[in-house]
């Protein structure tokens, strides 16, 4: 980068109020269900009430005669139109040939494998009429024995895929050093079994798909896209047997993502399929019951974890086995939680010898995918619990035990365990991990609160805990951006990143404004949709600022280069001699040209940022709880999180993400649980049964976001920062509960820490 193009932060780093708020606050946002094209029809989906069975027949005769019904499609119809077989959705992340046969068909055909699997699609004049018709479809399913949990899955007596002969598609291994040798020589080892319950994102806006088919133009336009529109287009085009350029995915406002929304689901095929068959716009809006039943679940992992330490608390080895209850199919992002729990269970700590296995266990439940901090939230719970137990056994202060095992700045980059199948190496990129730990202790006032540990005050036991964490970000392979400068001085910026409610618009415009040296209000920002760029990658793995932002910087550099070239001949100098100043004026030797003079027909440039190095934001979190042993209620009196994210683009949004992530984590730690009974029936199909945090639950959360250690791996120095807050919550709060109830000997090993569960632990301990 030549000196004149150096990135000078003006708006970056300042608390710019969000651009998107102006429309969202006035009810002018446009979410997918706000779209009402002419001639719109509405779809509803019949879902299996049987967790495992063979479909004998689906009789839609009566449904077709219901008022307003336009069509009903079953697996047989779709197979007939798709070359004889129902399309199967492949893995998007970490695909492997051996996982392909476990993919999910877009509609159940011969078998159903979980309650909620799509059996038929009704299209009618209104959503109500479509739902009325669902009630008269006659389904005959021969029930099979159910695989309700990972133990039944491992037994392989009942198979979800009889032809494949096993319920366990894969076991991953993450390893470094020589774990067996370390454990053999270790003076101290401890092994524990832990469990995290099934829960998920439960975005406030349910999913939705609006498909419009233009037969004359051979064009399928699908609204409601989120997260990865280009990947979704690729899958849809393949299964609809259309060239990719005949399919567009349009991203409008999106009511929350958190990893779950925007992956390719059954409905992303079924609704376009119906629209093409009927040659009419068709919309499907997921209702809340479907959202709880069918959107990706996550987090259900059992783990046996074993730690090996020196007498002084130095951790010399970590090994274990995780069992990930993956539900009935391997969906697009299903490989990530099992892979992450294996690779990241060591967290921020310097551990020389690791061998962790992670098995994917199929069961007759809704399939899983990624949810904010996938595999990391779970792994942190397992590890941080075990560290507190080990510190207790060894008689070492819990803070000191952690401090002793954090890598020093000179250790960076520090390698983590390497994951096999496909191989993935990871290294912590930068940072002084002691700083965030010290800051957290100070903000939490650890010393003052230490006296409260285990104390019974007014009928409640008080406890505190602290834990350290990392957050991965900046998934590759690349991101793209495009800029068009108009003669009137307005600049349009297009980027492949997607907005799922995280403030992408504002932070991207901040980066673009500073990269170009123009005010923010001259930039018009466009994102996500496949119509803007040839290729884009989207928003997941906390990648939008690092990848999209860096691509914007590259596009700005290229735009300035194009302006220099255009100006050079007219200014009579070499391009390199042209100075691009404020407002993109080009000048040399006392003469200058405005953008209007330079680019009468507009001028554009593309940019890209390719990266295979992940960023690692890092931090520490502490909690103070009070536990009522009579009711089992855990009250979080205070929670403090400190995270170094390398570079803060907008302190308002990073702080907001941190607080929001913590509260989501507290939900997963204390309240949220997607429950099935032992027969595979789903029990939590309403928001009265699936308990999300509300405003009265966790009023005292403090977040401190630092930018001490920029990432060396991108021009902004930024690190992915949207997920860190959630990662340590389960471990820290569970340790605080254990600390509170230490006189009773209560050691929580399972989440959620719900009142009945804590009460039961207290009963057993007594």
Partner 1 sequence: MSATLPTRFELNGRPVEVTVPARTTLADCLRHHLMQTGTHVGCEHGVCGACTVIVDGAAVRSCLMLAVQADGAKVTTVEGLSNDESLTPLQAEFRKHHALQCGFCTPGMLTTAHALLTEEPDADRERIREVLSGNVCRCTGYIAIVEAVYAARGAYGHNPKVAA
Partner 2 sequence: MKLPPFEYAAPATLAEAIALLAAGDGNAKALSGGQSFLPVLAFRLASPSLIVDLRKVPGLGRIDIDANGVRLGAKVRWRDIGDDERLRTAHPLLQAAIAHVAHYQIRNRGTVGGSLAHADPAAEMPGIAVACDAQLVLAGPKGTRTVPAAEFFTGALSTVLASDELITEVHLPAWPATRRWAFEEFALRRGDFALAGVAVHYDPDAEGRVTNAHIGVIGACTRPHRIAAAEAVLNGKRPDAAQILAAASAAAEAVDPPGDLHASADYRRALVATLLERALTRAAQ
Site residues (vs partner 1, CB under 8 A): 17-18, 20-22, 24-31, 33-34, 36, 128, 201-206, 253-258, 287-288, 500-503, 652-653, 655-657, 659-664, 686-688, 692-696, 698-699, 701
Of 343, 379, 334, 382, residue with least CA distance to 361:
334
How many residues in the shown chain lie near partner 2 by CB under 8 A?
A: 30
Shortest CB 295 distance to partner 1, Å: 13
What lies within 8 Å, CB to CB, of 194 at 6+ separation is 302, 303, 304, 305, 381, 382, 385, 386, 749, 750
Rounded CA separation 496/606 (Å): 12
Residue 224: name the closest of 207, 248, 237, 240 by CA.
207
Binds 29, which of partner 1, partner 2, none (CB < 5 to 8 A, cut-off by type)? partner 1
Instruction: Give the binding range for partner 2 (CB under 8 A) out of 108-116, 221-229, 493-501, 687-695.
Output: 687-695
Query: Residue 151, preceding bond cis, omega within 30 degrees?
Result: no
Phi, psi of 643 (to 5 degrees): -140, 135
Smallest distance from the beta carbon of 558 to partner 1, in angstroms? 32
Token readout for 676 is: 């099935």
Q: What does the DSSP 8-state code read for residue 738?
A: H
Whether residue 738 contacts residue 747, with contact meaning beta carbons closer than 8 Å, is answered with yes
Residue from the set 450, 576, 683, 765 that interacts with partner 2 by CB under 8 A: 683
**Selected range binding partner 2 among 357-365, 467-475, 521-529, 679-687, rule: CB under 8 A:** 679-687
Quick check: 135 binds partner 2 (CB under 8 A)?
yes
Q: Does residue number 169 form part of the binding site for partner 2 (CB under 8 A)?
A: no
Task: Please list, in sequence order, all residues whose beta carbon lies within 8 angstroms of the beta carbon of residue 241, skipping any fewer than 6 positions away.
Answer: 82, 83
Site for partner 2 in 274-333 (CB under 8 A): 287-289
Q: Is 30 in the site for partner 2 (CB under 8 A)?
A: no
Q: Tell me the closest approach of the beta carbon of residue 33 to partner 2, in angstroms.
A: 13
- Of residues 696-715, which lie at the interface with partner 2 (CB under 8 A)? 696-697
The residues with which 642 forms a beta bridge, in sequence order, are 620, 704
Of residues 257 through 276, those in contact with partner 2 by CB under 8 A are: none
By CB under 8 A, residue 177 contacts partner 2: no
- Residue among 204 and 610 whose Cβ is closer to partner 1: 204
Which is closer to partner 2, CB of 569 or CB of 696? 696
Choose among partner 1, partner 2, none what residue 631 binds, the Cβ cut-off being 5 to 8 Å by kind. partner 2
750 near partner 2, rule: CB under 8 A: no
How near is the Cβ of 685 to partner 2 at its closest, in Å? Answer: 8
Q: Cβ of residue 764: shortest distance to partner 2, in angstroms?
A: 12
What is the signed CA dihedral for 208, 59, 130, 297, rounded to 10 degrees? -30
Question: Which of 14, 30, 694, 764: binder of partner 2 (CB under 8 A)?
Answer: 694
Question: Closer CB to partner 1, residue 128 or residue 187?
Answer: 128
Rg (CA), the chain: 27
Cβ atoms of 299 and 371 closer than 8 Å: yes
The entry of partner 1, partner 2, none near residue 660 (CB within 5 to 8 angstroms by kind) is partner 1
Cα dist from 415 to 419, 420, 426, 669, whole Å: 12, 15, 6, 29
Q: Residue 44: how many CB atoms within 10 A of its CB?
A: 23
Q: Which does 602 bind (CB under 5 to 8 A by kind): partner 2, partner 1, none?
A: none
Q: With H, G, I as helix, E, B as strand and everything else as coil, classify residue 732.
A: helix
Q: Which of 76, 56, 114, 668 is CA-nearest to residue 364?
A: 114
Is position 759 an interface residue for partner 2 (rule: CB under 8 A)?
yes
Instruction: Collect all residues with Cβ–Cβ distance below 8 Å to 42 and sequence separation of at least 6.
Output: 123, 124, 125, 126, 127, 129, 130, 282, 283, 284
**Residue 689 interacts with partner 2 (CB under 8 A)?**
yes
Look up residue 647 and give its two tokens: 């570079």
Q: Which residue, 256 or 476, is less far from partner 1 as judged by CB?
A: 256
The residues of the shown chain that bind partner 2, judged by CB under 8 A, are 126-128, 131-132, 135, 287-289, 630-633, 671, 675, 683-684, 686, 688-689, 691, 693-694, 696-697, 754-756, 759-760
């Amino acid at each position: 980068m030549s000196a004149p193009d150096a990135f000078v932060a003006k708006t970056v780093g300042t608390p710019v109020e969000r651009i998107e708020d102006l429309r969202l606050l006035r009810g002018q946002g446009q979410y997918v269900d706000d779209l009402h094209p002419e001639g719109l029809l509405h779809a509803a989906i019949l879902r299996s009430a049987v967790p495992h069975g063979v479909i004998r027949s689906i009789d839609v005769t009566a449904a077709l005669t219901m008022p307003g019904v336009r069509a009903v499609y079953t697996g047989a119809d779709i197979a007939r139109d798709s070359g004889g077989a129902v399309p199967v959705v492949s893995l998007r992340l970490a695909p492997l040939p051996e996982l392909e046969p476990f993919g999910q068909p877009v509609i159940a055909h011969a078998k159903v494998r979980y309650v909620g699997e799509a059996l038929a699609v009704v299209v009618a004049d209104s959503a109500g009429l479509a739902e009325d018709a669902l009630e008269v479809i006659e389904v005959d399913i021969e029930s099979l024995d159910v695989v309700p949990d990972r133990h039944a899955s491992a037994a392989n007596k009942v198979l979800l895929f009889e032809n494949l002969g096993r319920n366990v598609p894969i076991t991953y291994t993450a390893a470094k050093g020589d774990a067996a040798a370390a454990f053999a020589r270790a003076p101290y080892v401890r092994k524990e079994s832990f469990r995290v319950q099934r829960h998920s994102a439960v975005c406030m806006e349910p999913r939705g798909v609006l498909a419009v088919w233009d037969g004359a133009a051979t064009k399928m336009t699908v609204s409601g896209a989120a997260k990865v529109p280009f990947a979704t287009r690729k899958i849809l085009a393949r299964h609809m047997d259309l060239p990719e350029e005949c399919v567009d995915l349009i991203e409008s406002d999106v009511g929350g993502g958190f990893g779950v929304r925007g992956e390719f689901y059954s409905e992303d095929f079924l609704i376009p399929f119906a629209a093409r068959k009927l040659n009419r716009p068709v919309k499907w809006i997921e209702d809340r019951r479907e959202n709880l039943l069918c959107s990706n679940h996550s987090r259900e992992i059992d783990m046996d974890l074993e730690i090996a330490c020196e007498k002084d608390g130095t951790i010399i080895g970590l090994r274990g086995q995780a069992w990930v209850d993956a539900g009935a199919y391997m969906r697009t992002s299903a490989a990530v939680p099992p892979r992450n729990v294996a690779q990241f269970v060591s967290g921020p700590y310097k551990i020389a010898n690791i061998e962790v296995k992670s098995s994917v266990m199929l069961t007759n439940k809704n399939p899983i995918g990624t949810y904010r901090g996938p595999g990391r939230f779970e792994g942190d719970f397992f590890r941080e619990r075990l560290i507190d137990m080990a510190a207790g056994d060894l008689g070492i202060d819990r803070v000191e035990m952690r401090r002793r095992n954090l890598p020093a700045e000179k250790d960076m980059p520090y390698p983590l365990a390497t994951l096999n199948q496909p191989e993935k190496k990871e290294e912590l990129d930068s940072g002084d991990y002691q700083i965030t730990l010290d800051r957290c202790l100070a903000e939490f006032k650890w010393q003052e609160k230490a006296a409260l540990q285990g104390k019974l005050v007014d009928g409640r036991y008080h406890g505190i805990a602290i834990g350290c964490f990392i957050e991965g970000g900046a998934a590759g392979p690349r991101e793209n951006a495009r800029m068009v400068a108009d003669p009137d001085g307005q600049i349009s910026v297009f980027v492949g990143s997607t907005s799922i409610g995280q403030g992408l618009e504002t932070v991207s415009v901040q980066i673009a404004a500073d990269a170009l040296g123009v005010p923010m209000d001259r930039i018009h920002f466009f994102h996500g949709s496949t119509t803007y760029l040839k290729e884009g990658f989207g928003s997941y793995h906390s990648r939008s600022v690092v990848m999209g932002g860096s691509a914007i910087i590259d596009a700005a550099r290229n735009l300035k280069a194009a302006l220099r070239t255009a100006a050079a001949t007219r200014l009579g100098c070499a391009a390199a001699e042209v100075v691009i100043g404020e407002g993109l004026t080009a000048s040399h030797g006392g003469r200058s040209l405005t953008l209007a003079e330079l680019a009468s027909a507009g001028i554009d440039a593309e940019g890209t940022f390719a990266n295979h190095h992940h960023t690692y934001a890092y931090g520490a979190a502490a909690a103070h709880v009070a536990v009522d042993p009579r009711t089992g209620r855990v009250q979080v009196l205070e929670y403090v999180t400190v995270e170094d994210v390398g570079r803060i683009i907008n302190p308002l949004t990073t702080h907001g993400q941190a607080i929001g992530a913590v509260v989501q984590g507290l939900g997963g730690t204390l309240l949220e649980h997607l429950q099935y009974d032992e027969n595979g029936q789903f029990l939590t199909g309403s928001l009265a049964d699936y308990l999300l945090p509300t405003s009265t639950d966790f009023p005292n959360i403090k977040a401190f976001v630092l930018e001490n250690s920029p990432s060396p791996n991108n021009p902004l120095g930024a690190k992915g920062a949207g997920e860190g807050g959630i990662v340590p919550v389960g471990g820290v709060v569970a340790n605080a509960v254990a600390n509170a109830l230490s006189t009773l000997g209560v050691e929580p090993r399972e989440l959620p820490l719900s009142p009945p569960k804590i009460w039961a632990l207290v009963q057993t301990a007594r």
